Chains A and B, each alone.
Chain A
């Protein structure tokens, strides 16, 4: 039920964003994330952006695992 997917904000009009999720465009309400900007990645759940998605953290996490496993 708490399934949510990240997507990139393409445009914003009146607290509603158009978000690209894997090439599919959908609408997301920004009421819970009012400072989101065009170009931000956000996590979308039941038509609402609920949090920003930080892709850099994903890369850093992966890098940290590699280092911990002695691969870096």
Chain B
């Protein structure tokens, strides 16, 4: 979509309609749970143009952010001990573990390859350990590659998985009385995989959104009108990509290969059933089994408020470390480490309180 005058006019009219329709609403907290939405909301400056009572809060929207520091430490330790090359998506390169990042490990001689697609693993130097992180969007392609690895009987590619899933997480966030969520802006590309139906019954207005400015406004307008009419449940404003039932092939693959587990989320702690691990048929390539790794522990960084930020309880500029000792160049907490993290987005677009 080009930002032509027609679209700008539409966006203005949608904002005007939202302002009108939200007049009688109390403060309404809308949580987005997708890092790409977090970035888009910052980039388009939406928080500054929405009615005062419509508040956008950022939830745990980026799988990189919620990957525990101990996970990074484990990967680097295995690489050193067994002489493996590490492969990862670029987002993970600077995520700090407790003893260093992939970037600092590389400077110290560990082989680290950044890949754009999990299919790239087959052409890299082996033995190889892939840091397999992602929400449903990404874990479906990774699952496909894990299956191919096993089918090819590759002996030298291993997967250290940290897979997170969205629907059960939403229900847990809703049940936390400290957060207070009135509506969800649901992720577009996770939904492309899992479909509208996967969210089940959500007791607040929950609208699947695309990533253009107009798409996000359209979803927010839908939330406001659902609020006004006292409606709850899932609506879809990203029909170009999201169907009722999603991608069945991907869902079948995920269900066959992965099972729920209770891995901790960085900054949040354990969220029961909100992570996935490989089923026994894939243990021959599962780094946790092959290298007998202990379960990841809960961890806290002193002074870091990321847990409260990831739950939308406070905003990044309310944290004493934000933009001081914690910056994108030298991140302390998970929300700053990923370019799509809440703090990284606020650092770039909304560094001070409005």
Chain A residues proximal to chain B, CB less than 8 Å:
1-4, 6, 29, 31-34, 43, 45-48, 50-55, 57-58, 60-62, 65-66, 69, 71
Contact = CB atoms under 8 A, between A and B. Distances in A.
A53 B218 CA distance: 18
A32 B141 contact: yes
Could you say which interface size class chain B belongs to?
A: 35 or more
B210 to A, nearest CB: 9
A45 B192 CA distance: 11
B89 interface: yes
A4 B247 CA distance: 15
Given A2-B189, A4-B137, A46 B247 contact: no
Given A54-B240, A69-B14, A32 B116 contact: no
Interface in B211-244: 214, 218, 237, 239-243
B138 interface: yes
B190 interface: yes
A1 B338 contact: yes
Given A31-B144, A50-B141, A65-B10, A1 B240 contact: no
Contact of A2 (B36, B242, B246): B36
Contacts of B116: 46-47
A36 to B, nearest CB: 11
Contact of B141 (A3, A45, A57): A45
Contacts of A3: 36, 189
Q: When A and B form their complex, which 3 residue pairs have the shortest distance between CB atoms, in order from nearest?
A: A47-B117, A48-B141, A57-B239
B193 A54 contact: no
Interface in B70-128: 89, 91, 116-120
B247 A1 contact: no
Interface in B199-219: 214, 218
B291 to A, nearest CB: 25
Given A31-B148, A32-B253, A61-B239, 20 more contacts: A1-B35, A1-B62, A1-B138, A2-B36, A2-B137, A6-B241, A29-B141, A29-B144, A32-B141, A45-B141, A46-B116, A46-B138, A50-B137, A50-B140, A50-B193, A52-B241, A53-B241, A58-B239, A61-B218, A65-B214
8 contacts: A1-B35, A33-B249, A43-B189, A48-B141, A50-B247, A51-B241, A52-B241, A62-B10
Given A1-B91, A1-B135, A50-B250, A69 B17 contact: yes
Best-buried of B89, B116, B140, B142 by chain A (most CB within 10 Å): B140
B63 interface: yes
Nearest to A66: B10
Nearest to A43: B241
B340 interface: yes
Contacts of B192: 4, 43, 50-51
